[in-house]
Amino acid sequence: MPFDLYVWQSPREVDDERAASLVRAWEAEGEDPATAPFQASTDIAWFHRELTHDAAGLELVSDADPNPSARPVWLATNDEPAARIVAIRITPSATVDDVDDVFSLAVKYDLVLFDRRSGRVHFPMQEMADYADATFWPGGAIQAALAGAFGLLIAIAAWIVGIPILSGIVIVIGGFMFVMAVFTFVHAGRKWLGSRRTDSDAPPE
């Protein structure tokens, strides 16, 4: 029975046809994860570890070492051994949250995801970034402006109050919020200017 989803780190320069070809070749050779035609990466191992604990309705096949530890990954002191692939079969007991976990973790670790059911290859982090850029104006811009203004206000208030230690912490947090809001607007502006230049450079029809 074939798998439904396949996740790897590299190669990334693949289209739908190339991704399907890599998967078919791997399955034809026996589906041994250790010989999968993908580059080994610790990101795949961490992806596998988190998915194993979070999505009980998925059947996973991978060359990642099983890690029985229930400790959150952000408390882990040792890196996971590199792995090549996580092949995923969506069982009848799988929930929507289980499938969402696959995509959200693929975003977190910037992985490549091939959906055999649709025959499409996805780059979840890039797709998420493209969606954020497309929906930034006006809703995202308003949220960023409010967050930046709030950060600046609490930083100024903390500076005026001048409570030892506490004010310093609040100033740092408020300043960070303001700087990130400015960075968000700069990034969105550059993307907009880049798209305008691309449109203007296009040859007339």
Higher pLDDT, 176 or 6: 6
- Closest Cα to residue 17, out of 101, 173, 142, 121? 121
Decide: residue 108, CB within 10 A, 0-12 exposed, 13-18 middle, 19+ buried.
Answer: middle
Q: For residue 32, count other CB atoms closer than 10 A to its CB.
A: 12
Q: Which two tokens stand for residue 58?
A: 């998925």
- The predicted model gives 191-196 an average pLDDT of 66
pLDDT at res. 199? 53
Q: At residue 198, does pLDDT exceed 70?
A: no
Q: At residue 187, does pLDDT exceed 60?
A: yes
User: Predicted confidence band at 144 (pLDDT cuts at 50, 70, 90)?
Assistant: confident
- Report pTM: 0.69
- The predicted model gives 82-104 an average pLDDT of 93
- The per-residue pLDDT for range 59-81, each reduced to its tens digit, is 999 999 887 776 777 777 788 89
Least confident segment among 29-38, 42-51, 121-130: 121-130
- The per-residue pLDDT for range 35-58, each reduced to its tens digit, is 999 999 999 999 999 999 888 899
